[in-house]
Amino acid sequence: MTTMTKVASPDALTPRSPSRWRWAWRGSLMWLGLVGAAWGATALLVEPIDPASIRVIHLALSLAALLALVPWASLAAEREPELSGVARLTVVGGLLAVGLAPFGVIVIWHGVHHPDTWTGFLASDIVYYVANGRAVWERGDGWRYPNPFDTDPNAPVIYFHWVLWLLGTLCVQGGLTPVQAVAGVNLVGALALTGLTWGLVRVVVPAEQRWGRGPCYLITMWGGGVWTLWTFLAPSEALVPTTLVDPSIGLNLGTRSILAGNNDGFNGWFLIHWGRNVVFVTEAVYHALVAGAWLAAATGHWRWTVGLITALGATHPYSGFQHLAALNLFFGLTFLLGGRRGRAWLKTRWATVLTASLALGGFAWYYAGYLPSFAAHRALQSQLSLNWTLGWDRLAASAGPAALLALARLIVEGVRRLRNPERPWSLGPREGLWLTTAMVSVLLCKHEVLLETPKQPIHFDRGYIATPLLLVGLPLLGPALSWTARRTPAVLSCAVVGLAALDTFAWIASMGRYDTVGMTLDARERAVIAEVVAWRPEGVILFERLNHGLFAAAHGPIRPYAAHWHTPDRLKREAQVANLTRQAESLEVLDEVQGLVLSSPTAATLSRILELRGFQRRTVIEPWEVWQRDASARPPVNRR
């Protein structure tokens, strides 16, 4: 009689296969115990640390508690290939929810701490995107739009970006509020980005190492470099300040300030790590397009790759140029360096390669030929040519770990080939595209070294350096994390992912200190903006508080005198608004506007001058007043 022995699969939790649920529960509870102990220990640090930092530390520890989900992500990733139908959708949906969970904390935080005043917007640029979208229908031709902050009624209708068109269409044609439109598009983009990121990890990490897929996925979504460790451990004199950072934001530990969330300028809002981009409506969509393009390349569907990158080029100048250039450079390098095999590979895809070249050519014509032919755009472009940079130290801290991992994989592959020349390369076209993308992104992100007039170099990171390098290295990292998950206590997997996510968690926690991240308006401010929007003036409106003009432009066909970076002569106009009551020459602006929204003290100071110039009070909503030009007064002068 023959006895058959059942052999465990290589990714089983040997020798504890029947206990994998217990393994996950034990690891989660152990990790939560450690977080609870750390929370209690903060009571001993109240004296040397200011209360605001204590609050941020508590938020960071709350985020750390999410790492208790890592064992369950490992378990879900291991089971997912065996499931089908609703069960599989449930598991994948759970993985997507876990990937998004830390970033949802930002929204919840501001909703809880500003329940009566938060507008639902996290940053002023998101309001600006809606204003652009509205201009498609209210000042444009249904497809293109003028600069909504150009007060010239004849501003050229020349801009097209389909994501902004979508936001405007949902508001103007669909009847949604700006917050509803942004939230809907943001949610779809975030889910697409997270799902496609999971798809990338699932393709890159081999099936026999699927215990490592869960941690690899979370590292890709949550990972953020080693800047937090560097700022904490490095000598103070080694920390070189970056641009556009408020030094009051961060964790103040005695004399040590951890600006972990703010290492990329604008207090962290350039989103230089992949997963962070889910909180920004446009970037969520852009990154979903890139993730989809990379996944298509990883699975051999290069037509989809070109199509998605072309769609990106049709809606964003920075990311569009970055990825169109990387894709075309990859095809060119394959032709030049790929030998006979590379040229044969390109020959079978000649139509796809030609399409990519035409897309880059069309992009270049639009941004380098068509738009600069308009004086209004040339003036705006010179105003936006800013030296916003990412320092080499921050770039190294951000992308260095992923670069080392990619380098390790290249070395391992090279050694294997030396030992066995007949062994086929495991590196293919997809890795070529990812490495080319990382190279192009580094060059663009540091182009201030090459150009006298840089164009906001920091825009070209956004996770597009570290993430493709990480994807190259994941086949090396996946087996290590799979072995860790199968052979060690689950709490170790929590710690490994936590170390990779430290920067992102510190970034989210630092947002808890920066209360103005969530843009706020009280009930009276909302009422005065609604009054101006209901008025629907044909002329220009001067808002003493610039954000009022920004919100008004996002809610109706309002032309604010000054409101955003894209306002022509922005610095001059903002100075005029700020000095209305202090400099006589600033009063010249009154000849150019049809109405004003002023604080009551400013209105009291200027009331006699306003009346002499033909203005009268329209509405008073203390502490704000709306003034309009008397119909019998001479019309305002339209000046650029």
Residue type, position 137, single letter = W
Q: What is the pLDDT of residues 356-377, one digit of tens each?
A: 999 999 999 999 999 999 999 9
Strand, coil or helix: 617: strand
Cis peptide before 636 (omega within 30 of 0): no
Q: Residue 31 pLDDT > 80, yes or no?
A: yes
DSSP 159: B
| Structure tokens given for 43 | 């009571």
Residue 53's pLDDT band (cuts 50, 70, 90)? low
Parallel, antiparallel, or unpaired for β 595-599 and 540-543? Answer: parallel
- Identify the weakest region by mean pLDDT among 14-23, 67-76, 82-91, 383-392: 14-23
Q: What are phi and psi of 559, to 5 degrees?
A: -110, 95
Question: Cα–Cα distance between 595 and 582 in angstroms, integer?
Answer: 20
* Assigned token pair, 56: 């941020």
User: What's the pLDDT at 14?
Assistant: 43
pLDDT score recorded for residue 511: 72
83-87, 217-221, 423-427, 458-462: least confident range = 423-427
In the structure, what pLDDT confidence band is assigned to residue 242 with cuts at 50, 70 and 90?
very low
- Give the pLDDT score at 637: 53
Output the six-digit token pair for 80: 């997912």
Q: What local confidence, expressed as pLDDT, does residue 206 receive?
A: 87
Q: Are 479 and 212 in contact (CB under 8 A)?
A: yes
- The helix or strand, by DSSP H or E, that contains position 510, with its residue range, turns out to be helix 502-511
CA separation for the pair 7, 605 (Å, rounded): 87
CB 399 within 8 A of CB 437: no
Examine the pLDDT at 245 and tell me if it is beyond 50: no
CA distances from residue 535 to 168, 243, 502, 529, 595 in whole angstroms, order as listed: 20, 40, 49, 10, 10
pLDDT at 632: 61
The better pLDDT of the pair 118, 585 is held by: 118
Higher pLDDT, 2 or 518: 518
Which residue is associated with the tokens 């970006």?
161
Q: Which amino acid, one-letter code, is at 446?
A: K
Integer Cα distance of 600 and 620 in angstroms: 8
pLDDT of amino acid 621? 95
Mean pLDDT on 122-149? 95
Q: Report the pLDDT value the prediction gives residue 509, as an integer from 0 to 100.
A: 80
3-state helix, strand and coil shares in percent for the chain, rounded to the nearest 5: 65, 5, 30
Over residues 232-249, mean pLDDT: 48
Q: How confident is the model at residue 249 (pLDDT cuts 50, 70, 90)?
A: very low
Residue among 80, 71, 74, 78 at smallest CA distance from 24: 71
* Mean pLDDT of the region 292-307: 97
Q: Which residue has the higher pLDDT, 442 or 234?
A: 442
Across 280-308, average pLDDT:
97
For range 549-578, the mean pLDDT: 92
pLDDT of residue 260: 42
Residue with tokens 């058959």: 4
Give the neighbor-by-neighbor strand order of the sheet with 559-560.
Answer: 559-560, 540-543, 595-599, 624-629, 615-621
Annotate 412-470 with three-state secondary structure. HHHHHHHHCCCCCCCCCHHHHHHHHHHHHHHHHHCHHHCCCCCCCHHHHCCCCCHHHHH
SS3 541: strand
Where do the DSSP E strands lie in 462-580?
540-543, 559-560
The CA-CA-CA angle for residues 565, 106, 236, to 5°, reads: 75
In whole angstroms, what is the distance from residue 395 CA to residue 444 CA?
Answer: 12
Which residues are bridge partners to 118 per DSSP? 520
Question: Quick one: what percent of the chain has pLDDT higher than 70?
Answer: 87
Between 453 and 197, residue with greater pLDDT: 197
Q: What is the pLDDT of residue 162?
A: 97
CA dist., res. 503 & res. 218, Å (int) = 13
Contact status, residue 35 vs residue 64, Cβ threshold 8 Å: yes
- Find out whether 434 and 472 touch, Cβ atoms under 8 Å: yes
Q: How many CA atoms lie within 13 A of 238 on its CB side?
A: 10
Task: Taking residues 480-504, report their average pLDDT.
Answer: 89
Structure tokens at 118: 């938060």
Q: Confirm if 553 and 366 have CB atoms less than 8 A apart.
A: no
pLDDT at 584: 72
Specify the pLDDT at position 518. Answer: 57
Higher pLDDT, 288 or 48: 288
Closest CA to 440 of 500, 556, 360, 371: 360
In this predicted structure, what is the pLDDT of residue 10?
A: 39
Residue range 521-557, pLDDT digits in tens: 999 999 999 999 999 999 999 999 999 999 999 999 9
Nearest to 470 by CA among 508, 439, 438: 438
- Catalogue the E-assigned strands of 175-272: 251-253, 256-258
Kindly report the average pLDDT of the chain as a whole number: 86
Identify which has the larger pLDDT, 251 or 426: 426
For the chain, give every domain's residue range.
Answer: 177-240+249-488, 523-629
Q: Per residue in 588-624, pLDDT tens?
A: 889 899 999 999 999 999 999 999 999 999 999 999 9
Helices (H) and strands (E) in the chain, counts: 24, 7
* Residue % of the chain over a pLDDT of 90: 58
pLDDT of residue 52: 64
161-218: pLDDT as tens digits: 999 999 999 999 999 999 999 999 999 999 999 999 999 999 999 888 888 999 999 9
Task: Flag whether pLDDT at 83 surpasses 80.
Answer: yes
Task: Read off the pLDDT band of 243 (50, 70, 90).
Answer: very low
| 385: Cβ contacts below 8 Å, ≥ 6 apart | 453, 454, 455, 456
Is residue 191 within 8 Å of 244, Cβ to Cβ? no
In this prediction, residues 60-66 reach a mean pLDDT of 87
Closest CA to 123 of 270, 334, 20: 270
Average pLDDT score over residue span 428-444: 96
Mean pLDDT, range 496-522, rounded to an integer? 79
pLDDT at 328: 97
pLDDT for 72 equals: 92
Span 334-349, pLDDT tens digits: 999 988 999 999 999 9
